[in-house]
């Protein structure tokens, strides 16, 4: 019987016992950690973007940490010659691969490869007007109203059709409500994706089973696959019967792509989850800030009235609304932490040697909180983006959409939906926070969604019936 031997060298011992990587080039500061596990315990609250921000104040715009076996260089600053943009753009050829957690790899399985919008916005406004007429003294949960409407929009864009009320999923042998489908396709995958597998940090122990984690991820993945398969097959049937489907699925099928059905389904699902969650998070935070700050709300309303009068706001370019969009993404980026990027060849960042095999963490949250770049960065102040140094029509005034070749492809759509919804909400209603809401700013773990939904009091404006068609 043959035997396998593990050869222990001095280098292996050093990597296993000590949490500090060797340094070359310019002096690079390291966050002290523990033997074997490095800095993992210091990140146990699952809000690495905030911890990285605190460390940056002490260790500078680039520093290193140890996450189990891996050496990670954390980048923060956001000047024109920033380290973050250097990593994303200038050194793209050396730092190209995003390293996703094990859960997200299983979920996506290597698949990365305007009338509906008006209807969505009208439906949101109609629900708010109904609430105002029937429950004027009760606060409104904007997230609850918006989530299924935004979800419906992404379904129409993906499949050309929304789920009306329920969907029978043959592979699961059950009929699901629209709200349950939302949870299966959007909420559950996000929850499981942030549940780290300890084997991600100790690859030499990847052979050790982690059954509870694997079963949870596989359960979520199976439900996503079966629901998406049902939706996909429905649309293929419509197309085979000669119906024209103006949607993402129709484009993919008509192009005769070499992707398998499983890959097509995963690709379409990614557009749904990305288009729903991030847009919802950004809109809720913007409305929280506007309800909290009447002067900003009044400023936006006056701008809308000046341009639109009593006509319904419909994507007209408004400088102040654009500034609100960028300021919201700056302070409340829906994805505050970029997936780790793998360094596959020796390179340099900011004059520091970055060895192949290490990883790069870009703290999206920390970049726009730089006090040297922004005056009072902890405050939400839209007027900062009215400065001539920012492009009012730009999409990349912050790092929220990334940069370079891996920049977010949905940036323009995100801005369009955000501005249309927020503009219409302010055009039709005066907003104020429910008592006690002002201090409720806790967020989730690896996302920046408010931990508790925003609760606000709304009062219809005098001209709101002209905007919505509701008399």
Annotated binding site for heme: 408
Between CA 39 and CA 67 the distance in angstroms is: 6
Q: Where are the alpha helices (DSSP H) in 293-338?
A: 294-308, 319-331
**Within 13 Å, how many C-alpha atoms sit on residue 280's CB side?**
30
- Rounded to whole angstroms, the Cα distance separating 124 from 116 reads 12
CB 108 within 8 A of CB 224: no
Give binding residues as ranges. 408
Distance CA 200, CA 206 (A): 8
Both structure tokens of 14: 């050093």
- Spatial separation of the C-alpha atoms in residues 259 and 252, rounded to whole Å: 9
For the four alpha carbons of 246, 247, 248 and 250, in that order, the dihedral sign comes to negative
- Collect all residues with Cβ–Cβ distance below 8 Å to 230 and sequence separation of at least 6: 167, 168, 169, 170, 171
Count other C-beta atoms under 10 Å from residue 353's C-beta: 15
Which of left, alpha, beta for 134 (phi over 0: left; psi -120 to 50: alpha)?
alpha
From the number of C-beta atoms within 10 Å of its C-beta (0-12, 13-18, 19+), residue 389 rates as exposed
Nearest to 368 by CA among 49, 77, 83: 77
Smallest CA-to-CA distance from 319 within 393, 381, 374 is with 393
CA dihedral 188, 48, 267, 95 (to 10 degrees): -160
Q: How far is CA 106 from the centre of its chain?
A: 19
Residue 391: CA count within 13 A, CB half-sphere: 6
Query: How far apart are alpha carbons 223 and 242 in whole angstroms?
Result: 30
Gap between the Cα atoms of 74 and 53, Å rounded:
10
Cα separation, 158 vs 268, in Å, equals 6
Evaluate whether 135 touches 153 at the Cβ level (below 8 Å).
no
């Amino acid at each position: 019987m043959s035997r396998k031997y593990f050869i222990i060298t001095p280098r292996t011992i050093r990597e296993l016992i000590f949490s500090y990587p060797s340094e070359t080039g310019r002096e690079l500061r390291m966050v002290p950690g523990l033997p074997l596990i490095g800095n993992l315990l210091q990140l146990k609250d699952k809000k690495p973007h905030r911890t990285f921000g605190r460390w940056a104040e002490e260790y500078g715009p680039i520093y290193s940490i140890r996450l189990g076996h891996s050496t990670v260089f954390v980048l923060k600053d956001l000047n024109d010659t920033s380290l973050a943009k250097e990593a994303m753009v200038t050194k793209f050829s050396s730092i190209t691969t995003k390293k996703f957690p094990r859960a997200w790899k299983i979920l996506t399985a290597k698949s990365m490869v305007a009338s509906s919008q008006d209807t969505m916005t009208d439906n949101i406004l109609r629900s708010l007007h109904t609430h105002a007429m029937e429950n004027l003294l009760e606060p409104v949960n904007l997230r609850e109203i918006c989530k299924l409407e935004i979800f419906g929009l992404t379904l129409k864009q993906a499949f050309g059709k929304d789920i009306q009320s329920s969907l029978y999923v043959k592979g699961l042998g059950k009929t699901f409500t629209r709200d349950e489908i939302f949870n299966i396709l959007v909420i559950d995958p996000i929850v499981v994706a942030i549940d780290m597998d300890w084997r991600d940090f100790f690859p030499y122990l990847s052979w050790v089973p982690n059954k509870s984690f694997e079963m949870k991820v596989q359960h979520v993945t199976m439900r996503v696959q079966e629901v998406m398969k049902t939706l996909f097959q429905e649309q293929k049937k419509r197309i085979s019967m000669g119906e024209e489907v103006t949607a993402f699925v129709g484009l993919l099928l008509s192009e005769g792509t070499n992707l398998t059905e499983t890959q097509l389904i995963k690709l379409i699902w990614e557009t749904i989850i990305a288009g729903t969650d991030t847009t919802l998070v950004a809109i809720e935070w913007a409305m929280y800030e506007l309800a909290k700050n009447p002067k900003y709300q009044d400023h936006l309303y006056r701008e809308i009235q000046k341009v639109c009068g009593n006509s319904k706001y419909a994507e007209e370019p408004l400088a102040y609304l654009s500034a609100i969009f960028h300021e919201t993404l700056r302070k409340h980026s829906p994805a505050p932490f970029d997936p780790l990027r793998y360094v596959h060849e020796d390179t340099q960042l900011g004059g520091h040697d970055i060895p192949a095999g290490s990883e790069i963490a870009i703290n999206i949250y920390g970049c726009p909180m730089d006090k040297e770049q922004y005056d009072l960065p902890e405050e939400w102040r839209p007027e900062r983006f009215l400065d001539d140094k920012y492009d009012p029509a730009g999409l990349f005034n912050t790092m929220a959409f990334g940069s370079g070749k891996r920049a977010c492809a949905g940036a323009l759509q995100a801005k369009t939906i955000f501005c249309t919804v927020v503009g219409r909400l302010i055009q039709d209603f005066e907003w104020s926070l429910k008592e006690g809401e002002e201090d409720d700013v806790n967020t989730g773990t690896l996302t920046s969604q408010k931990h508790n939904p925003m609760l606000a009091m709304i009062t219809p404006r005098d001209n709101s019936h002209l905007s919505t068609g509701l008399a």
